[in-house]
Structure 1
């Protein structure tokens, strides 16, 4: 069976890789460069804490694959299981963390609760006025700029055809499956996997499936290189949009959050960072790491992300069209899930079943 994958971000490239490993013929089509959309704008967080509980089996599946990434892909995508520390500054955050920890434990996620003395001893300089924290030692981060191209290259080595800079002009259903006409030619396949990210809703609508999705851009920035002192990924338990940061091995501190995302017009989909939001963002970052007070911020960026209005992605088979599958709309939380999504979708397409529960993410929930 030949499968056409639309979208060359992490979801699409991971799907192409795992489909090719199963022996299917795969053509991946990306309208721009591989990995140049929402994936490259990502923070790179590999986090399970705070997720929608039915998403945890998929997150566990994905974490197992992140741990094998270098071997599977034959290249280093800088996955580091440095742990994920989420600081708590108020009683609401503490209550939310404890409630989630209790609910997540039967799902296979154990969070360590830390008191202020524990934070100061193990992570000096982080969150000095925090009243508590959670720590997930097996989580961590990877490099968003490496991972999409790495999965695409590994997929190509496994036999997949990678077609980038190929805007989709038309998609038709025929007796043998699907035909996709692009700026670089026409491609046919028995199955079509929609991993088009923020543009996935447009693909679904062609087949009578309407998903309420909005497009926004996160506000991301990075500092000058510094001596490496911050080991874990750092975030916040907060009912507001908290800040988050991590220090890469080259010394730069990447950060985001704490401010509202900017609306993005999906056509053409060019997201822009808003410098006016940086002071508020920095105040939140300094609460996490006061030592960054006199550090230079050298770059800001954003990217076009798709947010389904119920906060959950769309994954699984089409409700209207045999052979059509979806994996899009990950609401800014998809990076950790990427390898698991690719592996799960490949299993579903190749066998008709998936050992990881996907029903909560079915597009059928939007049927009239």
Structure 2
């Protein structure tokens, strides 16, 4: 039998962004339904690497990243667990002089944005991080960054939203959404009808279909980050490691396991899912062994991959629709959404409550791509037009 729910806000996508938005909205007093076609946090939010870093983000993301940065140390207060969050520092290594010059240029660009980056030369790197091998030229250290366990954090946000009074509906794919005079009407696979004043599209790698249904096509593609985890070894890694130019990232948890990434998986026949490749896993393990001698004789005990949405300019889409009043988008985090997601959730709640956010998000407007095509000034923001569009 079908049933109808009447809510202030319907959120499509139960990843970390959608779940944190649901929690923030409930704490503001809004009625919320959170919908996911599978399990909340089971896609990119729950299978990512777990880096909690501000360093390396485009300058336009830093204000949002700083907002999230203030939430991570309070996770136990916010969601009931600490999510294994560790403020270990994030060390981004340079393997060439050109990469070091790039790190120096980035540090200069964000010098006034509060990251407190410290440039570390070759000799100092050897003294402070002797467990790193290879001909490393230098590095950039962001001492306040760290890492956490995405499998715990993502599910805990959804559970906290449910405890706060949100209706959390898993295995509930949205089959139809349309704008109607009184708000939005959503239909789901299990026969649940939803009427809501606001809709938040936080459907991750599947969000482009909902955006396009409302006349807002975007250049979203799918990527498949791939990770390995090693057997427990003696703790040696004192920082979350990244590399300028990519290729490897690594962190170690208190139990001694190391999580290492840097390659991509491939989609399954069912494009909702992906898997690591054998060649990619071997490549990651070899890179890790070359960079971290302590791992040269360790076993890799698990491999995995996930499906993530990537935007053409690697910045997310966050903000109001430009075609449909009360439709809000939040997707396309391009493999770097874990750290900023709790801050994004607060921003989305502010958009519902206030119509604007105290954190600048203009750079993430969904119409930025069409403005480029039309040659409009980057800062121009057309007002939303009253328009009903059905999928």
Q: Given the alignment, which residue of 201, 206, 209 partners 2:208?
A: 201
Instruction: Give the corresponding residue for 1:360.
Output: 363
Q: Distance in 2 between matches of 1:361 and 1:44?
A: 23
Q: Distance in 2 between matches of 1:266 and 1:311?
A: 26
Structure 1: gaps spanning 5 or more residues: none
- Shift in Å at residue 265 of structure 1? 7.0
TM normalised by structure 2 equals: 0.90
Q: Is the 8 A contact 1:86 1:134 kept in 2?
A: yes
Q: Is the 8 A contact 1:15 1:343 kept in 2?
A: yes
Instruction: Give the corresponding residue for 1:328.
Output: 331
Alignment of 1:280 onto 2:290: no
The count of corresponding residues between Structure 1 and Structure 2 is: 364
- Shift in Å at residue 104 of structure 1? 0.5
Q: Given the alignment, which residue of 25, 33, 58 partners 2:31?
A: 25
- What's the C-alpha RMSD, in Å, of the aligned pairs? 1.5
Stretches of 4+ aligned residues off by more than 6 angstroms: none
Q: Distance in 1 between matches of 2:164 and 2:102?
A: 44
Alignment of 1:72 onto 2:78: yes
Q: Is the 8 A contact 1:210 1:366 kept in 2?
A: no
Q: Given the alignment, which residue of 155, 162, 169 partners 1:163?
A: 169
Instruction: Give the corresponding residue for 1:309.
Output: 312
Q: Distance in 2 between matches of 1:326 and 1:348?
A: 11
Deviations 1:47-78 (A, max 9, x none): 11111111100000011111211111122211
- Shift in Å at residue 213 of structure 1? 1.0
TM normalised by structure 1 equals: 0.95
Structure 2: gaps spanning 5 or more residues: 1-6, 374-391
Deviations 1:139-173 (A, max 9, x none): 00111001111111111222211111101111121
Q: Distance in 2 between matches of 1:108 and 1:288?
A: 30
- Shift in Å at residue 16 of structure 1? 0.6
Q: Given the alignment, which residue of 26, 45, 53 partners 1:47?
A: 53
- Shift in Å at residue 128 of structure 1? 4.6
Pair 1:267–1:326, CA change in 2 (3 A): farther
Instruction: Give the corresponding residue for 1:235.
Output: 242
Q: Distance in 2 between matches of 1:264 and 1:342?
A: 28
